[in-house]
Amino acid sequence: RKEVEQDPGPFNVPEGATVAFNCTYSNSASQSFFWYRQDCRKEPKLLMSVYSSGNEDGRFTAQLNRASQYISLLIRDSKLSDSATYLCVVMRGGSYIPTFGRGTSLIVHP
Amino acid sequence: GAGVSQSPSNKVTEKGKDVELRCDPISGHTALYWYRQSLGQGLEFLIYFQGNSAPDKSGLPSDRFSAERTGGSVSTLTIQRTQQEDSAVYLCASSRGAGNQETQYFGPGTRLLVL
């Protein structure tokens, strides 16, 4: 089983829709969690960190479920500009080497 | 301010040749990472530098791959005797420090094609 797994998609949604992605991780010692966004042929950029209590940034909400070992990303009121690949990133406690998922592709259409 | 820069942006080489890829991290960032990303694949960790500590080379796929970081700043990734399977985008990232909540800032990458 891969350390970090994501549904590759693509998720094809209309503008204004709400969409959610999950990411599962296999190592229970994982301690730090992030969502990065990668546009086509561009470098990844941090979207948000994921905190134990969950966190929100505008239309984006991230949640962590330690018991089931997954993190989620919810996007409300999708915009065309949200079309990208969303990368789940997990870091074990005591390690500075992140493990990236293969990403979930989102396509928002008019 | 200036972000992470990488050069060249594209490199086409022949199988068996050596290549050098360069990364200029954000000024003051002590941590530097190299990754590679093949088409449709996730980011594969290659090597990690932190300050003056010995680098973590655990991700290097073979002894044809090596990297240096001079003066705690610029880094060079060298691939000797390139193979076609080395074709990928090589991404460099830097972060302020070694904490595992630190944001990584990525450069635009070097697209390597080995013919």
pLDDT in tens, A28-66: 888 899 999 999 999 999 999 998 888 999 999 999 999
Residue of A nearest to B4 (CA): A43
Whether chain B has a CB inside 8 Å of the CB on A102: the answer is yes
For residues B44-65, average pLDDT = 93
**A102 contacts B100? CB cut-off 8 A:** no
A57-106 pLDDT, tens digit per residue, is 999 999 999 999 999 999 999 999 999 999 999 998 888 889 999 999 99
**B108 contacts A102? CB cut-off 8 A:** no
Cβ-proximal residues to A105 (8 Å cutoff; 6+ apart), any chain: A8, A9, A10, A11, A84, A85
Strand A104-109 to A11-14 pairing = parallel
User: How many contacts (CB atoms, under 8 Å) link A and B?
Assistant: 47
**B100 contacts A95? CB cut-off 8 A:** yes
Cβ-proximal residues to B51 (8 Å cutoff; 6+ apart), any chain: B30, B31, B72, B98
Question: According to the model, what pLDDT value does residue A22 have?
Answer: 95
pLDDT band at B1 (very low <50, low <70, confident <90, very high): low
Residue of B nearest to A39 (CA): B108
**B48 contacts A96? CB cut-off 8 A:** yes
**A102 contacts B42? CB cut-off 8 A:** yes
The overall average pLDDT reported for chain B is 93
Question: According to the model, what pLDDT value does residue A95 have?
Answer: 84
Question: According to the model, what pLDDT value does residue A9 have?
Answer: 93
B58, B59, B108 ranked by CB distance to A43: nearest = B108
For residues B24-31, average pLDDT = 93
pLDDT band at B98 (very low <50, low <70, confident <90, very high): confident
Determine contact, residues B12/B87, Cβ cutoff 8 Å. no
